[in-house]
Chains A and B, each alone.
Chain A
Amino acid sequence: MSKLKSIVFEGVAAAWPICLGYIPLGFAFGVLAQKAGLGPVEIFLMSLLVFAGSSQFIAVSMLDCGAALMSIILTTFTVNLRHLLMSSALAVYFKKSSRKKLCLFSYGVTDESFAVNYSKLKTGKWDLGRSLVLNYTANMTWIVSTVAGGFGGQFIPAGAFGIDYALPAMFICLLVFQLNGLKYLFVALLAGIFAVSLSLVLTGNMYVVIASMLAATCGTVLHRFFEKLSSKRTNDE
């Protein structure tokens, strides 16, 4: 296989669990958007320019309630702020990459593409080219399924084959990949506890950002503290 061919093949192959999750979600969004009075072209434009599932759902339900333009944009901003953390974690792996390519790549950073790309990058057998292919495969799937849903079709009956669980199951596995040691296990547990507690008291999804930043900070501080302690002990001996 030529080099380009293998990049495209591997990128698309790694994207399939994401696409499996995006198809029913995209249909559902399209159906909802159509009920809120949006046509296929309007749906296409939103999926193309925004490409962020949960914020698109929220925007459509706000449109339906007659919310003001600025409040929809502001809500979108807070809902999608979590990508700032994801891009920051990814940036460590893309040193010396061209700014233009990174610009193209950053458009496609979603919860799902971030999680798959990050776990692949950590193995060392992944690069920006393959990540780009993965992002745009997911992006195309999202756009096509949202527009298809907008034509009035719930092409997959809700709840069929457990397909609604494709993305949670994917996150479970990608979380398992991340748990390489006590430090990660501790931080993940902490983040989970923070997130659940905050999600019960805060509306919206800012709890994701707050919980992960808090947990990562606790992890870093504690790890550095214990490292200092053990290096002091070896110095004393």
Chain B
Amino acid sequence: MMSDAYILMVIGMGLVTFIPRWAPFFFLSNRNLPAWLVEWLDLIPASILSALLLPALITTGEPRKLMLLQSELLAAIPTFIFALKTRSLGGTVIVGMVMFYLAGKLF
């Protein structure tokens, strides 16, 4: 049986997750933005992808510690080169998985 507290919690979690996702479309998408903001926003995807990815590759544990010798980083190198050469998303995903699987055999 689901408790009222759980339903309340999930609704609260949903709201605080939805608002940051939605607000930029409401406030930014129907107006002309200043050039510096457009330039800044153009740099956000490259920064955010790198900020999500790099800690996952070279840190581990909780609290996080630096860890260079691990499958995540080892597999990333050939995967990165493959992505650079082929620019194929599907191919990179498959190659990455195979490399990670193989790297796992080493550690």
Contacts and interface: CB of A to CB of B under 8 A. Distances in A.
A50 B51 contact: no
A91 B29 contact: yes
Nearest to B1: A39
A169 interface: yes
Which interface class (under 10, 10 to 19, 20 to 34, 35 or more) fits B? 35 or more
B30 A95 contact: yes
B26 A188 contact: no
A170 B93 contact: yes
A65 interface: no
B5 A73 contact: no
Contacts, number: 278
Contacts of B21: 80, 83-84, 86-87, 106-107, 109
B70 to A, nearest CB: 12
Contacts of B40: 216-217, 219-220
Interface residues of A, number: 96
Contacts of B30: 95-96, 99
Contacts of B45: 86, 89, 114-115, 118-119, 178
Interface in A100-148: 102-103, 105-107, 109, 111, 114-116, 118-119
B66 interface: yes
B54 A196 contact: yes
Interface stretch (A4-12, A149-157, A206-214, A229-237): A206-214
Interface string B12-48: 1110111011111110111001001011111111111
Given A172-B83, A191-B46, A52 B39 contact: no
The 8 nearest A-B residue pairs measured at CB = A169-B96, A162-B101, A49-B14, A165-B100, A191-B47, A162-B97, A192-B54, A195-B51
Contact of B25 (A87, A168, A188): A87
A94 to B, nearest CB: 5
A16 to B, nearest CB: 7
Nearest to A45: B10
Which among B44, B47, B76, B102 has the highest number of chain A CB atoms within 10 Å?
B47
Interface string A71-89: 0111011001111111111
A169 B44 contact: no
Contact of A82 (B18, B29, B48, B95): B48
B43 A91 contact: no
B65 to A, nearest CB: 7
Nearest to A224: B36
Given A168-B53, A172-B92, A188 B24 contact: no
